Every structure is written in structure tokens, then in C-alpha cells.
Amino acid sequence: MENQHSCIDALVKNNSVFSALNEDEIKLLYENYTCTSFKKNEIIFKEAERPTGLLCLQEGKVKIFKEGVGGREQIVRMAKPVSFIGYRALFADENHIASAQAIENSVVCTIRREALENILRQNPDFSLRIIKSLAYELGFANKRTVTLTQKHIRGRLAESLLFLRDTYGFEEDGHTINIYLSREDIAHLSNMTTSNAIRTLSAFAKEGIIDINGRRISIKDMKKLEWINDLG
């Protein structure tokens, strides 16, 4: 129970949606809350599975992806603590339309559906915040759809690097993006082949825009990277 309490305390403190809950509602979470650890590369949920509750990423980093033609992945979202994953399917009362995988060792906490629905019915402020969160995610998804279909390869890759910067921030040096993705994952995030991702990353490095050390990517010329992103 101690681990669960610490998870809930962090959730209420760090997520504005749950800050709308009163003491009785938080107590209800304590009674309907479980946490599960996932190792790096372990699947959290699979496409076509039925959600059993609201999943919250407590620790680690997670990618949400969908398999396309020929088994090729498309990363549709990246998650960081403290955020929800897979909740569209829960509220739509549908099966998951994508899969989630831990990029590094992660902890995912689950709020049981029944408890969540009880709180939603009792707390209109909480319900409104959930709606706003869903609306934000929908807007982001629509924007990404346009980006991945209309931008050139360089523009798509630049946007992906900026997206990773905005999501995970930098390491202490202020330049290295605080997530290490494979070239394949970068390609899947940018809607391009792995070979194109490798060539474009190399071109950015030669132009002095980024520095590459294995899976570590440092941004050296932020203005030029943003210019390429805006140019499309």
C-alpha cells in the first residue's frame, strides 16, 4: 500500500486533472489503484486488447505505436511521467487501437474503471478537466497527421527532434535530448524509412545542427533546426 499511496500522491500533485479531487475521492483511488513495473522493451498493452482501467505512467518513458502495412510501425505518441496512456479506448468503451511499449524501465499505475466512473459522475470539475485533456490530445493528433503527410523528410525529422525536446527536455548539459531512441524508432516517429532517418540525421550532423553519439542526440543549432521545421 505504501507504494500505491506514493503513486497517488505524485499523481495528485503533478497532474492538474487529479488536483480537482477531494479527500474522499482520493481515498477511493487508494482503494482502487495498482502499480505494475515494466522492463525496457516490455509491452504494456497491445492493439485490440480491452482496457480495464485508466493507465497512468508513473515512472519511465513509453511509446504508443500502431502497426501498419507490412508490420511497419508508426509511433503516434510518446509519454512521460505523470501522464495517461490508452485512455481514449477506455472512455470510448472500445479496444485499444494501438500498442504501448516501455522505452526504459517504467512503472504504470491503473485506476479501476468503476472507481473512475464514480468520481466522474460526482465531480463535474474533474470531468471537465478530463474532457479538456482529451481535446488537447485530439488537437495534437490532428496536427501530427498533417505534419507527417505534408512536410518533407527534413521537416519531419526536425519536428520529431523538437517534439522529443519538448516532451523529455535536455540533460544537464542543456543540449542532449533526455531520451535515447534507436534509428528505427526515430524513423517510426517521423514517418520515414530507417535508411532515410539515418541519412537525414547524418546530414544534420554534417551541417552542425546536431551532434550524434550512439543513441544520444545533442542539438547544437536550435535556430536552424526550428527553421527547418517551420520551412516544412
Q: What is the CATH number of the domain that holds 207?
A: 1.10.10.10
> What span, in angstroms and rounded, lies between the C-alpha atoms of 210 and 208?
6
What distances in angstroms separate CA 109 from CA 5, 14, 42, 212, one per listed residue? 11, 14, 15, 34
| 135, 180: one domain | no
Residue pair 197/157 in contact (Cβ under 8 Å)? The answer is: yes
> What span, in angstroms and rounded, lies between the C-alpha atoms of 94 and 50?
7
| 118, 15: one domain | yes
pLDDT in tens, 63-90: 999 987 777 788 988 999 888 898 889 9
Q: Is the pLDDT of residue 33 over 90?
A: no
**What pTM did the predictor assign?**
0.84
Supply 68's cell numbers: 501498419
- The answer to the question of residue 69 being in a domain is yes
- The answer to the question of residue 78 being in a domain is yes
> What span, in angstroms and rounded, lies between the C-alpha atoms of 8 and 220?
38
Q: What is the CATH number of the domain that holds 43?
A: 2.60.120.10
| 6, 103: one domain | yes
Residue 132's domain spans which residues? 2-140
- The answer to the question of residue 146 being in a domain is no
